[in-house]
Amino acid sequence: MSEAPYSTSEGAGSVVTLKPRERVELLGKTVDELAELVAEVGEKPFRARQLYAAIYRRRLTSFAAMTDLPARLREQLAARAVVTNTGVKSIFTSADGTRRFLLELGDGREVEAVFMPEERRDTVCISSQVGCPLACDFCMTGVLGLKRNMTAAEIVSQIVVVLNEVYGEGARPVKATGITKVGSSISGREKVRQPRDERHPLNVVMMGMGEPLLNYDAAMRAVRLFADEKGLAIPPRRVTLSTAGIVPRIDELAKEAVRPHLAISLTAANDELRDRLFPINRKYPLAELMAACRRFPLTDRERLTFEYVMLEGVNDSDRDARDLARLLNGIRAKVNLIPHNPAPELPYKATPMARILAFQKILTDADVRSFIRRPRGQDIAAACGQLAARHEASA
């Protein structure tokens, strides 16, 4: 039998160097789990709190940079652990500022995360599975099939790796580097913004590769780690989890003490069409999905988001708009109309903007609130539904 990690046979203070692949990944661990690790090398619990702050709040990825820890502990940690095994393989930058990150996980599998800067907030879109089992007919990730679930550590690592590239590693959230001038006031004093302070918050959307509700425990563990104010400090109201409609998991999510905002990828307002676009609809048809949405407990001003990908000649008629309005009747809903992002492998075309506007007008007249989502990063295959771990920029 191989030697157990953290074996104390040589005494708590000795350095046992593990092979790189055997080293424990720290991102993804709670402070209590870090405390166990720290205790095994004979250090006091407060060191775990320092380590926790170092990896989540300061986003340090090398032990050498954690200069508030004693050199001996840093050496111990470096021999047995890594902060993360996730590495950046390529970064593609769009004309609109969107950046697509092709990430390599510890076992060589690849996933993608997307960073979208905006005037009033930045958004990171993260993956929850390597590939996806749902095979939705209009989504590139579905073409890949499922390779495997991501661990909580891997899900969380996407945020740390992306923010370090964008804001700089080791920067404390509020004092992060990369201050951007966003305009001048009339008095000539320049307004500056810093990433990640209250005026320029960070949103996280679990809308990358995969179906987060089919990797429920890891996704929720990641959400709880995001939320910790002593760590990444991304509150759940700034996190949106998107699902194609795994009904029992929606009910489970409803019971969570710490839960993200929920978005449903609807895209079809009748079962005949939805069965065709979303194979999962045959298991959880619209009546069941909408019933789960109706019983989902919303907080005071919260709305459920419904994503509706506009596919030309498929789901964009006046009648489809009226069906959608009827389906959402009585639900505190917000609809995101998403122009379809095409790919050569996908058999659909995007609805022209004039038709999207006509569709939206019908929703508005029926008192359904909706927004038209601006496509981001289409030129680098970073837009919704285009994530397929491509090594080149365009689809």
- Give the residue numbers marked as catalytic: 112, 384
Which tokens is 352 given? 């022209």
Residue 38 or residue 350: which is nearer to ligand SAH going by CB? 350
Residues 319-338 interacting with ligand SAH (rule: CB under 6 A): 338
Residues 262-321 interacting with ligand SAH (rule: CB under 6 A): 265, 267, 307, 309
Q: Give the x-and-dash track for 366-385 against ligand SAH (CB under 6 A).
A: ------------------xx
Angle between helices 247-254 and 286-295 (to 10 degrees): 0
Q: Which of 242, 281, 305, 315 is close enough to bind ligand SAH by CB under 6 A? A: 242
Residue 309 or residue 327: which is nearer to ligand SAH going by CB? 309
Nearest approach in angstroms of CB 265 to ligand SAH is 4
Please tell me whether residue 215 binds ligand SAH under the rule CB under 6 A.
Answer: no
Which tokens is 1 given? 């039998």
Give Cα separations from 253 to 33, 242, 283, 328, 373 (angstroms). Answer: 24, 12, 19, 20, 26
Reference 384, options 274, 289, 282, 265; nearest CA is 265
Q: Which of 243, 305, 351, 370 is close enough to bind ligand SAH by CB under 6 A? A: 243
Neighbouring residues of 235: CB distance < 8 A, sequence distance ≥ 6: 227
Give Cα separations from 16 to 41, 69, 72 (angstroms). Answer: 10, 18, 12
Q: Which of 63, 138, 167, 359 is close enough to bind ligand SAH by CB under 6 A? A: 138
Residues 338-367 interacting with ligand SAH (rule: CB under 6 A): 338, 340-341, 346
Residue 227 or residue 244: which is nearer to ligand SAH going by CB? 244
Q: How many CA atoms lie within 13 A of 98 on its CB side?
A: 22
Nearest approach in angstroms of CB 261 to ligand SAH is 13
Which run of H or of E encompasses 275? helix 271-277
Instruction: For residues 99 and 85, give the distance between their C-alpha atoms in angstroms, rounded to a whole number.
Output: 21
Which range in 84-92, 188-196, 240-248, 355-363 contacts ligand SAH by CB under 6 A? Answer: 240-248
User: Beta partners for 265?
Assistant: 307
Please work out the total of residues on this chain that contact ligand SAH, with binding judged by CB under 6 A.
17
DSSP 364-376: HHTT-EEEEPPP-
Residue 61 or residue 149: which is nearer to ligand SAH going by CB? 149
Main-chain dihedrals φ then ψ at residue 306, nearest 5 degrees: -120, 120
Please tell me whether residue 176 binds ligand SAH under the rule CB under 6 A.
Answer: no
Main-chain dihedrals φ then ψ at residue 151, nearest 5 degrees: -80, 165
Sign for the pseudo-dihedral over CA of 281, 282, 287, 293: negative
Nearest approach in angstroms of CB 309 to ligand SAH is 4
Residue 37 or residue 244: which is nearer to ligand SAH going by CB? 244
Residue 211 or residue 320: which is nearer to ligand SAH going by CB? 211
Q: Which residue is nearest to ligand SAH (CB)?
A: 385
Angle between helices 31-40 and 45-52 (to 10 degrees): 130
Which residues sit at the interface with ligand SAH, rule CB under 6 A?
138-139, 207, 211, 242-244, 265, 267, 307, 309, 338, 340-341, 346, 384-385
